[in-house]
Amino acid sequence: QVQLVESGGGLVQAGGSLRLSCAASGRTFSSYTMAWFRQAPGKEREFVAVHRWSGGSIYYADYLDSVKGRFTVSRDNAKNTVYLQMNSLKPEDTAVYYCAARRTYYTGSHSEEYDYWGQGTQVTVSS
């Protein structure tokens, strides 16, 4: 069983930045596909970013179109942690952000394909 714990959420003004962290338990973190999703009030959960590490400096990352150029996903395998750096935040980025993990290879955006989920962290962007 893998446990995921997010942190780093909060209240920020539009144009500001936040960095979310997701700490994972487990000995094979480096082999997991890690992703971030978000859910705004009254809306469905949506994919934000995915990170798959292939070894050395080789990795795959992909993003929701509306966050490309503003958000960056990264990971530190030594710390079993994945990050989401969010810059130039907009009010429409307001949501609960969830970290997700999948044990096997996957680089997609379908939430049902992920095996483990964190409890979420609230991000609120004021205008």
pLDDT (tens digit per residue) in 13-36: 999 999 999 999 978 899 999 999
Q: How far apart are the first and last CA of the chain?
A: 40
**Tokens (6 digits) for 29:** 């973190």
pLDDT at residue 113, as a whole number: 95
User: Would you state the pLDDT for residue 105?
Assistant: 87
Higher pLDDT: 1 or 34? It is 34
Q: Give 86-127 pLDDT, tens digit per residue.
A: 999 999 999 999 999 999 888 889 999 999 999 999 999 999
CB 101, CB 34: distance < 8 Å: yes
Instruction: List Cα–Cα distances, 66 to 14, 36, 48, 101, in angstroms.
Output: 15, 14, 9, 22
Q: Which residues pair with 124 in a beta bridge?
A: 11
Note the pLDDT of residue 107.
87
Nearest alpha-carbon partner for 116 in 66, 67, 86, 82: 82
- Which pLDDT score is estimated for 54? 87
At 55 the pLDDT is 86
Q: Would you say 3 and 25 are in contact if contact means Cβ atoms under 8 Å apart?
A: yes
pLDDT at 78: 94
Distances (CA, A) of 6 to 15, 30, 56: 22, 17, 25
pLDDT range class, residue 57, cuts 50, 70, 90: confident
